[in-house]
Amino acid sequence: MKILAVSDQVVDSLYTPNVKDRFGDVDLILGCGDLPYYYLEFLVTVLNRPVYFVRGNHDRSIEITADGTRRIAPAGCEPLDNHTLVFDGLILAGLDGSIRYNNEGQYQFTQDEMDRKALRLALRLMTNRLRYGRWLDILVAHSPPLGVGDGPDAAHVGFRAFNSLIRRFKPRYLLHGHQHVYRGPRPGTQVGSTKVLNVYPYRVLDWERGDVE
């Protein structure tokens, strides 16, 4: 299975009908936040693959289109926040948002608030072990875990709850955005059984082989 993960920035090479030439073989698209609805809608339409997404600190719950239509989610895409689901045998779960650093963002949370969100998700993950033999394959988030690929400034501190989730539920990947990285390779950070991977602005994962482009 090939997975296209996107975050934070509209990429010109993806926002074109020619995207099918490069990424027509992907099976699944994951959005890690701070992306306009039209971009995710374009990908789901042109690539004709499922899109599951979380929201970032710059996202809003409602977007208004050019014709005045109010939408609460990109058409054809499914929100993952505080949900777990299975796609073609792959167990996914997601958590919206970033650390709270001002009073402007709807998807900003304190550490305590994210602790509570993560606890609710953990309760949902508990049954996966009985049903599928494991708890979780990929945790999709906007922010990284605390101290793992996060930043020193107030707006980019990671969540401690994510550290607890990966220790307890051992997903193969935690995918996030939020941290904009413009130079150098981004190999990810291995934390126990989990590779924490910044997908900004996009990454391709080969699930079976474990390759990351």
Q: What are phi and psi of 144, to 5 degrees?
A: -85, 175
How big is the CA angle at 130 (ends 129 and 135), to the nearest 5 degrees?
10
pLDDT at 176: 98
pLDDT at 185: 56
Cis amide bond preceding 17, omega within 30? no
pLDDT at 28: 98
The boundaries of the domain holding residue 152 are: 2-212
Digitized pLDDT (tens) for each residue of the chain, 213 residues in all: 999 999 999 999 999 999 999 999 999 999 999 999 999 999 999 999 999 999 999 988 788 877 777 888 899 999 999 999 999 999 999 999 999 999 888 999 999 999 999 999 999 999 999 999 999 999 999 999 999 999 999 999 999 999 999 999 999 999 999 998 876 557 789 999 999 999 999 999 999 887 787
Q: The whole model's pTM is what?
A: 0.95
Indicate the pairing of strand 202-206 with strand 194-198: unpaired
The 51-53 sheet, strands edge to edge: 77-79, 51-53, 28-31, 2-6, 202-206, 211-212
pLDDT at 72: 81
Residue 164 CA to residue 169 CA, distance in Å, equals 8
pLDDT at 183: 66
pLDDT at 65: 73
Number of domains in the chain: 1
Give, as one character, the DSSP assignment of residue 144: P
User: Comparing C-alpha atoms, which of 41, 157, 34, 139 is closest to residue 90?
Assistant: 139
For residue 22, give the CATH number of its domain.
Answer: 3.60.21.10
pLDDT at 184: 57
pLDDT at 61: 78
